[in-house]
Amino acid sequence: MKSVLTTTVASADLAGRFPSASDLESVQGSLQRAAARMEAAEKLASNYDAVAQEAVNAIYSKFPSGSGRAIDAGTQKEKCKRDIVHYLRLINYCLVVGGTGPIDEWGISGAREVYKALGIDTSTYVTGLTFLRNRGCADRDLSAQALLEYNGYLDYLINSMS
Amino acid sequence: MLDAFSRAVVSADASTSTLSSDKIAELKGFITEGNKRLDAVNAVASNASCCVSDAITGMICENQGLIQAGGNCYPNRRMAACLRDGEIILRYVTYALLAGDASVLEDRCLNGLKETYTALGVPATSTVRAVQIMKAVCVAHITNTNTEERAGAKYRKNDTPQGDCSALAAECAGYFDRVISALS
């Protein structure tokens, strides 16, 4: 799974060499940023439900009837929130790992095909995620560096859908 | 391949939950001890050649049959293959120590190794002995307890800030033990 540690080890292994000074330096870089990542991960873990609800509200204020198959509005809204919660959990994992591995493997891979088959417009998710992207406020919600890490993964996800 | 962080994520994912605060605290410990880990990896990687050649030599000095006709280190070709294998094993142990997780060692090195050695007729007991010597050497380098009387002319001092590296030495020893149990 992609992270600074695994990327470093994989490239050393490809060349068949022991970890060298530059490998250790790049790991050191990831450790330096880790405090901010962990702060964001903890914050997100403690209130992801409220965060997801805000995203769902933003989606349904822009697309009042949602998108996808014709199922009753309550179920549709519920499943929409479940999906946002799923993405937030994966962002929590990415913040812990310090790489996009979890979201690549468990979120993005195959998403396009699934949404196409189920007739769900990705712009609904983009709307919700963009709302979250612009919702965070440094110092009020979390420190500036932690917010940057959090927003970075939201941007990554938004880019994958648009 | 996983590292200490993605290992925690994989187990959290199994129960569709975010990471527990205990787990986060444990990973924060990994981060604060990070510099020690890099020193430990450096201590092993910087002495890799000496570690491997000493382990293979030690294995042979304890069992001279290996370099007699019919022994598995007998012509230069076999000796070279043996030294190469020692280096590969040490390299994957170093990767595991850097990542803080054994998956790279298990997936890319140990998976199928025993079957390969059985097919080639490489003796398991001798291989295990070589790995044990490498384990002792690496632990001594990580804890900075290598001594001049043991290392002789090859003695090399590691100058690092003083602190407790016993957890890392135990972790490294654990990876060598995995090699030993995979081979025997």
Please state the ipTM of this predicted complex: 0.88
| Alpha helices in chain B, H assignment, sequence order | 4-13, 21-32, 34-46, 48-62, 76-99, 103-105, 113-120, 124-142, 148-151, 166-183
Q: What is the pLDDT of residue B150?
A: 81
User: Distance, in angstroms, between B5 CA and closest chain A CA?
Assistant: 5
Whether B91 has its CB under 8 Å from any CB of chain A: the answer is: yes
Work out the mean pLDDT of chain B and round it to a whole number. 94
pLDDT tens digits, residue range B15-58?
999 988 889 999 999 999 999 999 999 999 999 999 999 999 99
Chain A and chain B share a number of CB contacts under 8 A equal to: 105
B144: left (phi over 0), alpha (psi -120 to 50) or beta: left
Judging contacts by C-beta atoms under 8 Å, the chain A residues touching residue B9 are 1, 93, 96-97, 102
Q: Is the pLDDT of residue A69 over 80?
A: no
Place of tokens 């812990």: A96
Whether B25 has its CB under 8 Å from any CB of chain A: the answer is: no
Whether B12 has its CB under 8 Å from any CB of chain A: the answer is: yes
Asked if the Cβ–Cβ distance from A38 to B27 is below 8 Å, we say yes
CA A65 to mean position of chain CA atoms: 25
Asked if the Cβ–Cβ distance from A19 to B41 is below 8 Å, we say yes
Asked if the Cβ–Cβ distance from A93 to B108 is below 8 Å, we say no
Q: How many CB atoms lie within 10 A of CB B42?
A: 22
Q: Is B54 helix (H, G, I), strand (E, B) or coil?
A: helix
Show Cβ contacts of residue B11 under 8 Å, excluding neighbours closer than 6 positions: none
pTM: 0.91
**A10-45 exposure pattern, b = at least 16 Cβ within 10 A, e = fewer:** eebbeeeebbeeebbeebeebbeebebbbbbbbbbb
Q: What is the pLDDT of residue B156?
A: 82
**Contact criterion met (CB below 8 Å) for A158 and A129:** yes
Q: What is the pLDDT of residue A15?
A: 95
Rounded CA gap, A111 and B41, in Å?
39
Q: What is the pLDDT of residue A72?
A: 85
